[in-house]
A and B are shown apart, each in its own frame.
Chain A
Amino acid sequence: MLIAWCLGVPRLTAADEPKQVVYAEVLGKAGEYGVGYEHSIAPRLSLGVAGSYALIRDQQLVTIAPYIHIRIASRNEHSLFAEVGAVFVHSHVPSPVANWDGMTDDGGGGLLSLGYQHTTPRFVVRATVSAMVGEGGVGPAIGLTIGVRP
């Protein structure tokens, strides 16, 4: 339905880059899933933040990722972009047994992403490849995002 809706809308120009985007993502910079907000501050630049709270088999993960979104190139409704930012993660592993008290860690690191964006008058769809760097080394992430332009 979303695809059909997208195909039925008029083509966009680079000037139609969204001023604001509210989005949901899966397996992106905010972990398993997250929500985010972006605000355009210049024709090619936006500031954004994504965050999530995930509960994975009792493990609690809180992730916040502020970033700069940079449109590298665009043609009609297609564009390539990069994102540079920071990622902060709080992880709490509660003890599932009586003879342990669990473990909590906090960490901060950097984020570099490259992605593709498809834009319609109402929706933004992105696919992103990211590298996150922190005290645990470098980790890749491949995310999918669907956003709306309020």
Chain B
Amino acid sequence: MKAALLGLLAGCVDIANQGTDWQALSAITGELVPEVGPDPDPLPAPCSLRIATFNVHFADDVDNLVAQIRASTFLAHADVLFVQEIRRYISEPTSRVSRLATALGMTWAYAPAHTVDNGGVHGVAILSKYPLAATAMRQLPYFDQLNAEQRIALRADVMLDGDPLHLVDVHLDTRLVPTDRIRQLNPALTDVGARMVIGGDLNTLEWTWVADAVPLTGEQAVVGQEQAKIVDDFFAYNQFERAVPDDVVTTRAPIVSMRLDDLYSRGLPVTEGAVEHVDGSDHWPVWFDLDRCQM
């Protein structure tokens, strides 16, 4: 009883493991085996590089997702696309990420984070119109809480006329307190490189959580210290910049209509960016443009 009470008062969550170092995708085998697509047709590298992130909520209907992306104004012209929550099932002849990337004329790197029912895996992917190299993933710190999932970061270098730009795609836990969110996020930008882009579904629900279950919505409303702002501050401290306004919404669910997804660049200036309302998921994609020619 005393231990339970102390657990409630202290937050009741602990790190069950610290995650792993970066592992080359080629070294991973078994049911969580990653995928890397073939190099795309050669293209000259652009001065303005568009990068986007989109949580596709399993991508159950890949054809519809492709149609929605193609019909979009900004996402359709992404050179690099970070994807979260995309699944692969042994019952399907090809992986969803391969079908999505192929239809968009991109190559891909896909890393499953964990298994799901019916012979599936669930993970993140980087799609690119330009070749990808140095693909690797790392398991992020695992927090022992209700309905916790193993979270991962996927990295790759996009090769732009032989010049690598480091990319990292992440998908974090939902009900983390701010300190734990930083603990889970920090390894994703460790040992990557100075010039890099990181982004994904950071799941920055606004509140601090008691015992990973009860959000302190009242205190949060008073102090206004949203987790997205805390993550922004963490990235700004590490010399990253971003594009979209603080108060944009990247989810379609009314209760959590807040900024859960974002992109951050270090070493390449951001020229513009926005959230685009593209159907096909429960999230909205975020994109930004980077100016490679100022460097």
Q: Within the complex, which residue of B13, B208, B223, B238 is in contact with A134, where a contact is CB–CB below 8 Å? A: B223
Report the interface size for chain A: residues with CB under 8 A from the other chain. 44
Q: A56-B208, A61-B208, A139-B217 are in contact. Are A108 and B222 (CB under 8 A)?
A: yes
Q: Which of A84-103 touch B at CB < 8 Å?
A: 87-91, 93-97, 99-101, 103
Q: Mark B170-208, 1 if CB is under 8 A from A, else 0.
A: 000000011110110010000000000000000000101
For chain B, the bracket of interface size reads 20 to 34
B224 engages A135 (CB within 8 Å): yes
A91 engages B225 (CB within 8 Å): yes
B222 engages A93 (CB within 8 Å): no
Tell me, in angstroms, the Cα distance from A87 to B233 when the chains sit together: 25
B220 engages A136 (CB within 8 Å): yes
A57 within 8 A of B: yes
Chain A, residue nearest B221 (CB): A139
B10 within 8 A of A: yes
SS of A interface (majority): strand
Tell me, in angstroms, the Cα distance from A59 to B183 when the chains sit together: 13
A100 engages B223 (CB within 8 Å): no
Residues of B with C-beta under 8 A to A140: 217-218
A103 engages B230 (CB within 8 Å): yes
Residues of A with C-beta under 8 A to B226: 136
B219 within 8 A of A: yes
Residues of B with C-beta under 8 A to A87: 218-219, 222
Q: Within the complex, which residue of A58, A108, A138 is in contact with B179, where a contact is CB–CB below 8 Å? A: A58
A130 within 8 A of B: yes
Q: Within the complex, which residue of A55, A57, A58, A101 is in contact with B237, where a contact is CB–CB below 8 Å? A: A101
Residues of A with C-beta under 8 A to B219: 31, 61, 63, 87, 89, 91, 132, 139
Residues of B with C-beta under 8 A to A101: 237
Q: A100-B182, A100-B237 are in contact. Are A57 and B13 (CB under 8 A)?
A: yes
A89 engages B223 (CB within 8 Å): yes
A77 within 8 A of B: no
Tell me, in angstroms, the Cα distance from A31 to B180 when the chains sit together: 20
Chain A, residue nearest B216 (CB): A31
A141 within 8 A of B: yes
Tell me, in angstroms, the Cα distance from A103 to B220 when the chains sit together: 14
A59 engages B179 (CB within 8 Å): yes
B178 engages A109 (CB within 8 Å): no
Residues of A with C-beta under 8 A to B180: 57, 96
Q: A109-B222, A132-B219, A136-B221 are in contact. Are A93 and B230 (CB under 8 A)?
A: yes
A132 engages B208 (CB within 8 Å): no
Q: What is the interface of chain A, defined by CB distance below 8 A to chain B?
A: 27, 29, 31-33, 54-59, 61, 63, 87-91, 93-97, 99-101, 103, 105-109, 130-141
Top 7 closest pairs, chain A to chain B, by CB: A139-B221, A136-B224, A139-B217, A141-B218, A134-B222, A107-B223, A135-B224
Contacts A61-B216, A103-B178, A136-B222 given; 8 further ones with Cβ under 8 A?
A: A56-B208, A100-B182, A130-B218, A131-B218, A132-B219, A133-B221, A134-B224, A139-B217
Q: What is the interface of chain B, defined by CB distance below 8 A to chain A?
A: 9-11, 13, 177-180, 182-183, 186, 206, 208-210, 214, 216-226, 229-230, 233-234, 237-238
